[in-house]
Structure 1
Amino acid sequence: MYSSSSSSPSNLPLKPIPGDYGMPLFGAIKDRYDYFYNQGRDNFFKIRMEKYQSTVFRTNMPPGALIAQNPKVIALLDAESFPILFDTTKVAKHDVLDGTYMPSTAYTGGYRMCAYLDPSEPNHATLKRYFASLLASKHNQFIPLFQSSLSDLFPKLEEQISKDGKADFNSLSDDMSFNFVFELFCGQSPSKTTLGSKGPSLVTLWLFPQLAPQITFGLPKFLMFAEDFLLHTFSYPAFLVKPAYQKLYDAVYESAGSALDLAEGNFGISREETCHNLLFLAGFNAFGGMKLLFPALIKWVASGGGNLHRQLRNEIRTIVKESEGKITLSTLDKMTLTKSVVFEALRIEPPVPYQYGKAKEDIVVHSHDATFEIKKGEMIFGNQNFVGKDPKVFENPEEFVGNRFVGEGEKLLKYVYWSNGRQADDHPTAENKQCAGKDLVVLMSRLMLVEFFLRYDTFTVDSGTLLLGSSVTFKTLTKAS
């Protein structure tokens, strides 16, 4: 249950923001090495929270040095201060999708994508309304198309386990996700285009140099200097992946005629600009997000063990049977535990954990314990891996609790911020930066669990880390008895 600080913001003391940025250049490099190699992503923040006895502090965020001209941020790591990043009247969102740096627009045909635009820019509203209109036009396809995609995934899992005694979920999930996203937005299977089966690898190749400054391969420490130089010191030129991007662009342009017509006819966006934005939406936002979303969901549901699996399959099978085997939005909405499990996975491991924004004016934020003044122009950073585990909001915050959001627990959904907005109450609009596919992400996650537990009773996995997310390997998979 939520147990907020008893003090109201007006009664909280105004404190200077603790922390510093160290010496020019060298401070940023030191913090980068701490983040990637010496301390690790989570300990980097835990150590500073303990040092400063504060969830609000100053630090440098990677990559720093030459890629990010200004790596200095003010970190917000609690559920009270973090939501200031949603207020676009106070916080600017120009070119902050990837944090303290922005990949060259040469990666996206010379256009700044909608995700990099601030809502104050006219093109943002036009593109966001187009995306909303496009998704609305596809809403009848969401469930049957995703069910079809899953019906291809599950037999491949079973085949791999039967053959090798284990199955790599990430690679199979990537193939499934790309096929779903491409067919949803482009109207046909990528196998029927020039992409064939190469779509996921082409997107991954295109994404890698853009996201390289944020990743580490987890190599032995004696190789960290070489890795740091290769990944975090200079930006990769876009021409290295131009052939891959061109193949993706051509496939989308040739296949997504109705989506391009909608943009050109109803919103006045050129077909070229639309195609680049559509490819970014499908490849970076949707496919890139799903690469992180589904392995995390499966990992955490696996951690719940047989008892959670039994509760899920009983709920799912009972309600589907009562609905005469039909799976609709109404059917899914009746599954309270299934919904809660999805929200709990999003709370504990959000697919996009970091948010950034630049103060448009002098603003005051408050944590549970104090208030802090942020000056105009300062970069603000929020880490949802900590915000979603705020111990003053959530009991046992590090523990995966499947029924956390059942019944009275639903009130806690206003503190689940995975979508660049609140799960409860907030909705994507042309005026905000909340994920346009927020509801679709939740739907797909629920549907993944429903189809899974209609087919299987229980399962076990091995899990680890893979670049920016979780890796999952199925060990056992017990078919429904």
Structure 2
Amino acid sequence: MASSSETSSTNLPLKPIPGSYGLPIIGPLHDRHDYFYNQGRDKYFQTRIEKYNSTVLKLNMPPGGFIASDPKVIALLDGASFPILFDNAKVEKRDVLDGTFMPSTDFFGGYRTCAFQDTAEPSHSLLKRFIFHILSSKHDTFIPLSQTNLTEHFTDLEKELAGKHQKASFNTSIGGITFNFLFKLITDKNPSETKIGDSGPTLVQTWLAAQLAPLATAGLPKIFNYLEDVLIRTIPIPAWTVKSSYNKLYEGLMEAGTTVLDEAEKMGIKREEACHNLVFTLGFNAFGGLTNQFPILIKWVGLAGADLHKKLADEIRAIVREEGGVNLYALDKMTLTKSTVYEALRIEPAVPYQYAKAREDLVVQSHDASFEIKKGEMIFGYQPFATKDAKIFDKPEDFIAERFIGDGEKLLKHVFWSNGRETDEATPDNKICPAKNLVVLLCRLYLVEFFLNYDTFTFDFKPSVLGPTITIKSLVKASSTV
């Protein structure tokens, strides 16, 4: 149960926004080093909340080293203020996907793809409807295609476990099958039938690393911190360094995606623009998101231990037996499985940041005060603090698989992983992930197929900027079959 509902009172005192940006150049540099090297992400925000006794405050957000990148933001660090970022009438999301900077459009074939466009731009709605068309036309293939790919995934893991090192790289395996799933979902062809071959995940990761480098750290010894900061946050990595990787992805989709690209042209989208948007949707949105989310899911289910594994296995096997297979109706009956997925999305959202600019002067409310934000100011939301807000969720730092069962479903409106509330639907006119429902479905399917095959597992994990790195140590074959 929630210990407090989100603030709705209009009588909260209006206070000036506390916090500090520091001196020009020095302030952003100091904050950047706190964020990346001295404190780390969560401590960076928490110490400032404590210092200013407020969850709405002024601070600098990386990268801040580019001449054209203004690091100053108004940070929303609670579950009450965060949802203003979803109000498209009040905030603008033009070119803020990656935060206070935007990579060169040379990374995207010269186009501003749909994810960088604001809802007020006419092409945003058109491009998003194109993605919806692809998803709706492939609705019947989600489950069987996912099952086929997961069978290959489990075979990969078992083969590695039986090998010399007796351990398996979860991330490598899930990356390969995720790319294959997405490519075939879009084109009806395997990437191996194109010039992409088996290198899809590597091509995407190379492309992503170059454009997102200013938001990450290589984890080098402390002596190299200033050198790294200068190298990757002062001068952006040029797009030509990864052009060959991007071109292979583009040409592979152009070659294999004839049907969907024909449909794009019928909708009034240039074929070239549609294909560049497909590369971005497949590589950045879908592959980037899912290859973070699956390891997060396995991490938290793994940490929950054998008791949860048995409960999931019992629920999944009983309902599959009762329904005669895995289908949407069966998945909907699995209340614990559904809740487990939502809890993983809540406790560690794969994309932790949201950005927007105020369209107008507006007032935002935390749990205990109101604050005025001026038109044009950059607003930043740190999602893990919003979805682990102790005034909304009981024991917010604990993974509670049953949290969203029964009355707990009312808390789903406070789960924000998809750039919107979990209770809201994606439309062409908002910025909610168009594949929101598919992501939830795929996470449920993963648990279903896993616990149809195995009773439990052991693993190790290492945290990283792009989500946990999972090593599977053992898989215990299912003791009962459906």
TM-score, reference length from structure 1:
0.98
Checking the alignment, whether the CA contact within 8 Å between 2:56 and 2:77 is kept in structure 1 is yes
Aligned to 1:203: 204
Q: What's the CA shift for 1:67?
A: 5.8
Aligned to 1:142: 142
Counterparts of 1:304-319 in structure 2 under 5 Å? Answer: 304-319=304-319
Q: Deviations over 1:268-317 (max 9, x none)?
A: 10110000001110011000111211000000000110100000000000
Q: Which amino acid aligns with 1:282?
A: L
When structure 1 is superposed on structure 2, of 220-229 and 278-287 the one drifting more is 220-229
Matched, 1:245 2:241: no
Question: What is the CA–CA distance in structure 2 between the aligned matches of 1:194 and 1:306, rounded to whole Å?
Answer: 43
Question: What is the CA–CA distance in structure 1 between the aligned matches of 2:403 and 2:27, rounded to whole Å?
Answer: 41
Question: What is the CA–CA distance in structure 1 between the aligned matches of 2:118 and 2:75, rounded to whole Å?
Answer: 21
Report SS of the residue matched to 1:364: strand
Checking the alignment, whether the CA contact within 8 Å between 1:217 and 1:467 is kept in structure 2 is no
Question: What is the CA–CA distance in structure 2 between the aligned matches of 1:42 and 1:463, rounded to whole Å?
Answer: 19
Q: Deviations over 1:215-265 (max 9, x none)?
A: 112222122122222222221111111111111111000000111011111
Aligned to 2:372: 373
Measured at CA, do residues 67 and 217 of structure 1 come closer, stay the same or move farther in structure 2, by a change above 3 Å?
farther
Checking the alignment, whether the CA contact within 8 Å between 1:5 and 1:369 is kept in structure 2 is no
Measured at CA, do residues 68 and 167 of structure 1 come closer, stay the same or move farther in structure 2, by a change above 3 Å?
farther
Aligned to 2:128: 128
Q: What's the CA shift for 1:11?
A: 2.0
Measured at CA, do residues 67 and 406 of structure 1 come closer, stay the same or move farther in structure 2, by a change above 3 Å?
farther
Question: What is the CA–CA distance in structure 1 between the aligned matches of 2:111 and 2:7, rounded to whole Å?
Answer: 47
Measured at CA, do residues 334 and 67 of structure 1 come closer, stay the same or move farther in structure 2, by a change above 3 Å?
farther
Q: What's the CA shift for 1:467?
A: 2.9
Q: What's the CA shift for 1:165?
A: 1.7
Measured at CA, do residues 10 and 223 of structure 1 come closer, stay the same or move farther in structure 2, by a change above 3 Å?
same
Q: What's the CA shift for 1:6?
A: 9.7
Checking the alignment, whether the CA contact within 8 Å between 1:413 and 1:422 is kept in structure 2 is yes
Checking the alignment, whether the CA contact within 8 Å between 2:319 and 2:334 is kept in structure 1 is yes
Q: Deviations over 1:343-362 (max 9, x none)?
A: 00000111111000000110
Question: What is the CA–CA distance in structure 2 between the aligned matches of 1:370 and 1:136, rounded to whole Å?
Answer: 43
Question: What is the CA–CA distance in structure 2 between the aligned matches of 1:211 and 1:190, rounded to whole Å?
Answer: 25
Report SS of the residue matched to 1:260: helix
Question: What is the CA–CA distance in structure 2 between the aligned matches of 1:222 and 1:199, rounded to whole Å?
Answer: 35
When structure 1 is superposed on structure 2, of 283-292 and 446-455 the one drifting more is 283-292
Question: What is the CA–CA distance in structure 2 between the aligned matches of 1:244 and 1:436, rounded to whole Å?
Answer: 26
Q: Which amino acid aligns with 1:76?
A: L
Matched, 1:477 2:478: no
Checking the alignment, whether the CA contact within 8 Å between 1:67 and 1:101 is kept in structure 2 is no
Measured at CA, do residues 6 and 120 of structure 1 come closer, stay the same or move farther in structure 2, by a change above 3 Å?
closer
Q: Deviations over 1:132-153 (max 9, x none)?
A: 1111001011111111110100
Report SS of the residue matched to 2:15: coil
Aligned to 1:183: 184
Aligned to 1:285: 285
Question: What is the CA–CA distance in structure 2 between the aligned matches of 1:358 and 1:411, rounded to whole Å?
Answer: 29
Matched, 1:393 2:403: no
Measured at CA, do residues 7 and 410 of structure 1 come closer, stay the same or move farther in structure 2, by a change above 3 Å?
closer
Residue from 418, 429, 432 that aligns with 1:431: 429
Checking the alignment, whether the CA contact within 8 Å between 1:93 and 1:357 is kept in structure 2 is yes
Q: What's the CA shift for 1:400?
A: 0.5
Question: What is the CA–CA distance in structure 1 between the aligned matches of 2:210 and 2:70, rounded to whole Å?
Answer: 20
Question: What is the CA–CA distance in structure 2 between the aligned matches of 1:6 and 1:170, rounded to whole Å?
Answer: 36
Counterparts of 1:206-225 in structure 2 under 5 Å? Answer: 206-225=207-226
Q: Which amino acid aligns with 1:295?
A: P
Counterparts of 1:448-463 in structure 2 under 5 Å? Answer: 448-463=446-461
Q: Which amino acid aligns with 1:178?
A: F
Identity of aligned residues (%): 58
Report SS of the residue matched to 1:102: coil
Question: What is the CA–CA distance in structure 2 between the aligned matches of 1:22 and 1:7, rounded to whole Å?
Answer: 31
* Runs of 5+ consecutive residues of structure 1 not aligned to the other structure: none
Aligned to 1:383: 382
Q: What's the CA shift for 1:8?
A: 5.0
Checking the alignment, whether the CA contact within 8 Å between 1:4 and 1:368 is kept in structure 2 is no
Q: Deviations over 1:324-361 (max 9, x none)?
A: 1x211111000000000000000011111100000011
Checking the alignment, whether the CA contact within 8 Å between 1:342 and 1:446 is kept in structure 2 is yes
Q: Deviations over 1:26-60 (max 9, x none)?
A: 11111111100000011100111111111100000
Q: Which amino acid aligns with 1:403?
A: E
Q: What's the CA shift for 1:460?
A: 1.3
Measured at CA, do residues 246 and 327 of structure 1 come closer, stay the same or move farther in structure 2, by a change above 3 Å?
same
Matched, 1:416 2:412: no
Checking the alignment, whether the CA contact within 8 Å between 1:9 and 1:371 is kept in structure 2 is no
Aligned to 2:119: 119
Runs of 4+ in 1 over 4 A off after TM superposition: 5-8
Report SS of the residue matched to 2:418: coil
Q: Which amino acid aligns with 2:224?
A: L
Counterparts of 1:293-332 in structure 2 under 5 Å? Answer: 293-324=293-324, 326-332=325-331
Aligned to 1:3: 3
Q: What's the CA shift for 1:466?
A: 2.6
The Cα RMSD (Å) is 1.1
Question: What is the CA–CA distance in structure 2 between the aligned matches of 1:138 and 1:314, rounded to whole Å?
Answer: 30
Aligned to 1:88: 88
Measured at CA, do residues 223 and 460 of structure 1 come closer, stay the same or move farther in structure 2, by a change above 3 Å?
same
Report SS of the residue matched to 1:466: coil
Q: What's the CA shift for 1:7?
A: 7.2
Question: What is the CA–CA distance in structure 1 between the aligned matches of 2:101 and 2:24, rounded to whole Å?
Answer: 17
Q: Which amino acid aligns with 1:10?
A: T
Question: What is the CA–CA distance in structure 2 between the aligned matches of 1:5 and 1:16, rounded to whole Å?
Answer: 24
Aligned to 2:228: 227
Q: What's the CA shift for 1:186?
A: 1.5
Report SS of the residue matched to 1:11: coil
Q: What's the CA shift for 1:5?
A: 6.8
